[in-house]
Amino acid sequence: MSTVLDKIKAYKLDHVAACKAARPLSAVEAAAREASPTRDFARSLMKAAETGYGLIAEVKKASPSKGLIRADFDPSALAKAYEAGGATCLSVLTDTPSFQGADDYLVAARDAVLLPALRKDFMYDAYQVAEARALGADCILIIMASVEDTQAQELEDAAFSWGMDVLIEVHDEAELERALALKSPLLGVNNRNLKTFETTLDTTRRLSKLAPADRHLVCESGLSTPQDLADMAEYGARSFLIGESLMRQDHVEAATRALLANPVPA
Ligand SMILES: O=P(O)(O)OC[C@@H](O)[C@@H](O)c1c[nH]c2ccccc12
């Protein structure tokens, strides 16, 4: 049976082929070389996590599981609200149509602030990594559920060659094992199964026990309260990737601040 992830992968590969035909890799690489210097995504998270929580705040208009999340959607205003509320980094969905994202949203959000930004998309080809850098991205996502090992390695190598960081995303034990063959210290545990959309913080509870000490755990999806963060901190998570619950707030800055207000449990 084909899953949502399979469908996204199929249209994304078509999209990348069309992009390559319209704009050769050499042109994208030239643009990437001219892009704004990278901001230190991984280091910022680790530093924030020394004294509190690292927060990757996501600019997310819609999702395949929830449909439209935020009608009043202004990426630069949202980025500013996140920054003012204490977020460490941004994540900006560029995928469309599933997430109703756009490359321009990433450019606008990052330009509005000083925070490092993740291009949140489904990556399969080094071409997309160069594109990400040309858009200003400081980090890319590798979803282990959707790539082969060699592909993951190519994506990571390409990101490092552009001076970008890499968030490696896993959802089960087998993916985590495969992720450990890569070098990036940022290990994201997605609490949402991208094939069924089932979301449970038990995923982090389970996988955190298998994460080596030299990886920085990023707990992703399904988080909405300061209590969720404190709960996940008991399992070693100090950094969080949060979208929907913040995107549904009228006052994003205040909500971001409130989410981060409680101290990390001793
Ligand atoms: O909106 P949430 O439940 O706070 O989740 C944010 C983020 O983790 C989620 O958007 C996400 C995690 N991994 C992904 C991969 C592709 C698209 C989206 C995602």
Both tokens assigned to 265: 């449990």
Amino acid residing at 257: R
C-alpha span between 44 and 238 (Å, rounded):
12
- Report if pTM > 0.80: yes
Q: Annotated catalytic residue: which of 60, 83, 131, 191?
A: 60
Both tokens assigned to 119: 């291009």
Distances (CA, A) of 256 to 80, 83, 150, 202, 263: 11, 9, 38, 24, 14
Percent of the chain with pLDDT over 90: 97
Q: Give the mean pLDDT of 218-233.
A: 98
Residues 6+ apart with CB under 8 A from 217: 187, 189, 204, 208, 211, 236, 237, 238, 239
pLDDT at 235 over 90: yes
Distances (CA, A) of 125 to 61, 94, 98, 153, 197: 25, 15, 19, 11, 25
Task: Determine the atom of ligand 1 nearest the C-alpha atom of 247.
Answer: 1
Q: pLDDT digits over 73-99, tens only? A: 999 999 999 999 999 999 999 999 999
Q: Give the mean pLDDT of 36-50.
A: 98
Percent of the chain with pLDDT over 70: 100
Q: pLDDT digits over 100-140, tens only? A: 999 999 999 999 999 999 999 999 999 999 999 999 999 99
Task: Return the pLDDT at 266.
Answer: 80
Task: Return the pLDDT at 117.
Answer: 99
Pocket probe mutation, ligand 1, options 221, 228, 249, 259, max atoms within 8 Å of Cβ: 221
Q: Which residues pair with 67 in a beta bridge?
A: 63
Mean pLDDT of the residues in the chain: 97
Going by alpha carbons, the residue nearest to atom 7 of ligand 1 is 221
Identify whether 66 is a catalytic site residue.
no
pLDDT band at 7 (very low <50, low <70, confident <90, very high): very high
Residues 6+ apart with CB under 8 A from 190: 169, 170, 171, 203, 220, 221
pLDDT at 186 over 80: yes
List, in order of start, the domains of the chain with CATH numbers: 4-260 (3.20.20.70)
pLDDT band at 194 (very low <50, low <70, confident <90, very high): very high
pLDDT band at 263 (very low <50, low <70, confident <90, very high): confident
- The conformation of residue 15, written as its DSSP 8-state character, comes to H
